[in-house]
A = this chain, B = another copy of it.
């Protein structure tokens, strides 16, 4: 809406008071129309639901060709077409998958008895602002890198305190390796994986000193690949918070300003499950 400011120029020889009265009424109308509780022009909320906000899909597609937690049995995902079109595409199919496979969530019960299963997480837990901490340079130099407390404090120095309800994402560069199982698992000669994770100190600080919903990472585990005790799992799930693992397209996210919609498959009593994960960039 363009304010009719040209009508507020005082024409030569006119009564300036009368002209200003007209302008005041005009401006008051602008205020009333432009600042009402229900704006007549679409706001960010409406843009989200009309396809006019940028949404980044942070979800890898599930397939038998994708990276998986290294085991001698290979990728456990199965997708079986039950009835097919003439071209072979499915009319109906069924699938088998572990819950913690592909882009997925670890519900708190995954690592701590008595904590919530996946179907007990609600929208109040699953929607929140994203804080993206980039350690891809450190991880490129050292695949066993664990993001330190200082990494998170440096992020806060640059971007301000982690917002309430944040979903704290560690961007390690691994989301770009998804097309190579070998690069993504990064096994040594003994078959042990090497990829970065959160440090125990950082995880403890995040769940005790800040008010977050959960954490996420763009590789196979929030604990670094060489971990033997999975301490970060115990710390974060133990505090009743969730993890997101194998997050896609993390390298496309800004450090702040994105909002996440975490949409897990709702398995009754599940320890986790596949998520559809959208980042909204307003």
Query: A residues bordering B, Cβ < 8 Å?
Result: 3, 8, 16-17, 20-21, 23-24, 27-28, 30-31, 34-35, 43-45, 48-51, 55, 57, 59-63, 76, 79, 82, 85-87, 89-100, 103, 109-111, 113-114, 117, 119, 122-124, 127-129, 164-165, 259-261, 263-271, 273-276, 278, 282
Q: Per a CB cutoff under 8 Å, which of B21, B110, B111, B267 touches A79?
A: B267
A165/B50 in contact, CB under 8 A: yes
B266/A263 in contact, CB under 8 A: no
In the complex, how many angstroms separate the beta carbon of A269 from the nearest chain B beta carbon? Answer: 7
Residues of chain B within 8 A of A92, CB atoms compared? 98-100, 110, 271
Residues of chain B within 8 A of A27, CB atoms compared? 24, 27-28, 31
Q: Complex: how many Å from CA A55 to CA B34? A: 27
In the complex, how many angstroms separate the beta carbon of A244 from the nearest chain B beta carbon? Answer: 14
A97/B99 in contact, CB under 8 A: no
In the complex, how many angstroms separate the beta carbon of A65 from the nearest chain B beta carbon? Answer: 8
